[in-house]
Structure formats: structure tokens, C-alpha cells
Amino acid sequence: MAEKLIVISGTKEEQYVSLLAQLRSLLEGETDLIANLANVSAVLKDAFDFFWVGFYLVKEDELVLGPFQGTLACTRIKKGKGVCGIAWQEATTQLVADVDAFPGHIACSSLSRSEIVIPLLRGNEVWGVLDIDSDKLGFFDKTDQCFLEKLCNDILSKLCQK
Ligand code: SME
């Protein structure tokens, strides 16, 4: 794996296009899922002004904390609980402009103000979620959703073919 990715300046869309192209080729060279998820969380945290970036992986009837960048986080989330558990249950992205307005939101940090959670899909099955938090209200939009869904389901789900 190359030692660094280039984060270009420009619009958020241009940054995502550049970053996803680089990630796609970098991840192709490594088969270990945890290593790849760890690097993806590091790259996203580095490229954008996110407060917390990480993965929760489905293990039996729970989501269990996986590779992440940021502050201490809760380790286990039940299906249907919190933003992550709803994303798993519904198998749809949850874009939350104000976490205080989301019933059942699990506050791992009081600094988190908005959040996006994207399910990782293998066919119709959810095998994990990508969770990103911001310390700013309304930080995520449809551009984030579109590119993060591409990352999760065009790139990452191909790495998890078990
Ligand atoms: N806020 C999430 C919990 C995970 S932390 O944000 C890292 C939720 O409500 O599911």
C-alpha cells in the first residue's frame, strides 16, 4: 500500500472523486478487511473535518465496534437502537442533521452534533455500518451520502465476500 493519499483542494464533490479513486486502487492491493477498514477510517478523518469516523460490524445480533478514528466509543449496539442500529435494521443510510432530534440517538460523545450512518451491504444483507459524526450541526448532505454510499457499496463490500 502507498504511504499517502493526496487530498486535493476544491469542492467536496471533487475531493470525494479524487479520494475514492485513490482508495479503490489502494484497497485492491490488500485483502485483509480490518487493515482496509482501518485505513479508510484514517483517510476519511484526515481528508474531511469529521469528528469521528468508524465502522461497526455485525456479529450475531449486535453491531460491534471495529476500526475507527476519534474518541472512545460504545462497543456494542443492538439492532434498531441508535442511529447505527436503525441503519442496520432498515438497511438504509441515516442522515441526521441534529442528533438531539433523533429519538434513541446513542451519544458516545457530547460533542457530536450531526451524524451519517451508511449500511455496508452484501446483496440485501447488512454486514456492518460506516458511522461518521461531526461536532457541527447539519454537517452532512446528499453529496456526502452519495459518495459514502459509493465507497461502502462499490468498494468496501467487494472486500467482504465471505
Ligand atoms: N451515535 C451512534 C453511536 C455510535 S457513536 O456515534 C460513535 C448511534 O446513535 O448509533
Mutate to test the pocket of ligand 1, among 41, 108, 113, 132 (most ligand atoms within 8 A of CB): 108
Backbone torsions φ then ψ of 86, nearest 5 degrees? -70, -40
Exposed/middle/buried for residue 83 (C-beta within 10 Å: 0-12, 13-18, 19+) = buried
What are the sequence ranges of the domains in the chain? 12-159
Q: What is the pLDDT of residues 48-79, one digit of tens each?
A: 989 999 999 999 999 999 999 999 999 999 99
> What residue's CA is closest to ligand 1, atom 7?
73
CATH superfamily of 12-159: GAF domain (3.30.450.40)
The C-alpha atoms of residue 155 and residue 149 are separated, in whole angstroms, by: 9
What is the pTM for the complete model shown?
Answer: 0.95
From ligand 1's centre to the CA of 15, what distance in Å? 25
Give the number of the atom of ligand 1 that is nearest the alpha carbon of residue 84.
Answer: 10
**For residue 78, what are the β-bridge partners?**
62
Residue 127 DSSP symbol: E
From ligand 1's centre to the CA of 157, what distance in Å? 21
The C-alpha atoms of residue 121 and residue 125 are separated, in whole angstroms, by: 6
**What mean pLDDT is predicted for residues 101-113?**
95
pLDDT surpassing 90 at residue 126: yes
The C-alpha atoms of residue 92 and residue 135 are separated, in whole angstroms, by: 23
Q: What is the pLDDT of residues 1-56, one digit of tens each?
A: 556 778 888 999 999 999 999 999 888 888 899 999 999 999 999 999 899 999 99
**For residue 94, what are the β-bridge partners?**
117
